[in-house]
Amino acid sequence: MITNNQRIALITGANKGIGKEIARQLAERGFAVFIGSRDMAKGREVSEELCQAGYEATCIQLDVTDPVSIRTACGTFSQKADHLDVLINNAGILEDHGETILKLNAEMLDRTLKANVNGPIMVIQDFLEHLQKSESGGRIINVSSGAGALTDMTTYAPAYSISKTALNAVTKQFAGALAEQNIAVNCVDPGWVRTDMGGPNASRSVEKGAETIVWLAADAPQSETGKFWHDKQEVDW
Ligand code: NAP
């Protein structure tokens, strides 16, 4: 049961990896968390785990590439909560397998952009009405990557890197468009994290990968908006 004054967060792709850890850390801080998952069974496992630990968690079916799924999730959300304080666009895919841009597969690029760029845009658009009802001021956090930083861009994973550069641009666009509505919009590079995507040799734990995202969601000044963050520091685009 969500209590009065409880802060509410929705995390996309929260059935595993960094998203699951963000949900756990926010629940631990007293947030009611909505576990966005395209596979309801996997999402339910996480929400049940959190509920058993005494936290407030609800699973919501949400495929960020499917406009109908997003709309339905928005309707389901409004039956359970009367506002949203934090939206975290965490769901993402990395399908590059070592090919350079010279051989980039157009269909793979299309899938990557749909999940990593179009998805967050559609989710923000549909959930905006709930964020606008946040009394503390809404917060949107887009989980980007160092691979999307133009300053350090190499030839690594072109489709993924291009999608994260575009997600950074999406962040700036929404930050500008929502500046007058007290809704902060930021993006985060979590570092190289040990998940299915990052692999077992990555240098960071999920706890560390989620840290700056959770800080932006719960503790950072509301006035911080339109920025790219890594380890709680603003970094170059
Ligand atoms: P992960 O373990 O592969 O988890 C990705 C999550 O996104 C899963 O829950 C996955 O759901 C979900 N997802 C994928 N496509 C989706 C869709 N269409 N709709 C809804 N959910 C979808 O990856 P991760 O490492 O935790 O990555 C989380 C975020 O961090 C991503 O945006 C990633 O780009 C970013 N990131 C990761 C690293 C790293 O080193 N791990 C570094 C920089 C940035 P399923 O289980 O159904 O596939």
Q: Give per-residue pLDDT as tens, 2-38.
A: 877 899 999 999 999 999 999 999 999 999 999 999 9
pLDDT digits (tens, 9 = 90+) for 69-104: 999 999 999 999 999 999 999 999 999 999 899 999
**pLDDT at residue 53, rounded to an integer:** 97
**Residues involved in catalysis:** 160
Task: Return the pLDDT at 3.
Answer: 78
Residue 209 has pLDDT above 80, yes or no: yes
pLDDT by residue (tens digit) across 93-143? 999 999 899 999 999 999 999 999 999 999 999 999 999 999 999 999 999
Q: Could you write out the DSSP letters of every residue in 146-200? A: GGG-STT--SSSHHHHHHHHHHHHHHHHHHHHHGGGT-EEEEE---SBSSTTT-T
94 CA to centre of ligand 1 in angstroms: 8
Instruction: Indicate the pLDDT class of residue 1, thresholds 50, 70 and 90.
Output: confident
* Helices (runs of H) and strands (runs of E) counted in the chain: 7, 8
Q: What is the pLDDT of residue 139?
A: 98
Q: Which atom of ligand 1 is nearest to the CA of 160?
A: 34
Phi and psi dihedrals of 57, rounded to 5?
Answer: -145, 140
d(CA 156, CA 137): 37
Q: Which amino acid is at 196?
A: D
> How many alpha carbons lie under 13 Å from residue 220 in its C-beta half-sphere?
28
Query: Mean of the per-residue pLDDT values for the chain?
Result: 97
CA atoms within 13 A on the CB side of 167: 37
Q: Read off the pLDDT of residues 141-190 as tens digits, 9 standing for 90 and up.
A: 999 999 999 999 999 999 999 999 999 999 999 999 999 999 999 999 99
Per-residue pLDDT, averaged over 203-232, amounts to: 98
Nearest to 161 by CA among 94, 209, 88, 77: 94
Element spanning 32, H or E: strand 32-37
For residue 193, the CA-to-ligand 1 centroid distance in Å is 11
Nearest CA, atom 44, ligand 1: 145
Cβ density class 76-103: b for 16+ within 10 Å, e for less? bbeeebebbbbbbbbbbbbebeeeeeee
Residues 6+ apart with CB under 8 A from 93: 111, 112, 115, 116, 160
pLDDT score recorded for residue 221: 97
Residue entry with tokens 């597969």 = 105
Test site for ligand 1: of 38, 72, 95, 203, most ligand atoms within 8 A of the Cβ: 38
Buried b (16+ CB within 10 A) or exposed e, 46-75: bbebbeeeebbbbbbbbbbbbeebbebbbe
What pairing do the DSSP bridges indicate for beta strands 32-37 and 57-61? Answer: parallel
The CA-based angle 60-213-181, given to 5 degrees, is 80
In which element (H, E) is residue 9 found? Answer: strand 8-11
* Cα–Cα dist 32/47, whole Å: 11
Q: Is the CB–ligand 1 distance for residue 15 below 6 Å? A: yes
Q: Which atom of ligand 1 is nearest to the CA of 66?
A: 18
pLDDT at 62 over 90: yes
Q: How far is the CA of 17 from the centre of ligand 1 (A)?
A: 7
Ligand 1 midpoint to CA 232 (Å): 21
Q: Other CB atoms closer than 10 Å to residue 146's CB: what's the count?
A: 18
Domains defined along the chain, listed by start: 8-234 (3.40.50.720)
What is the atom index within ligand 1 of the atom nearest the CA of 17? 26
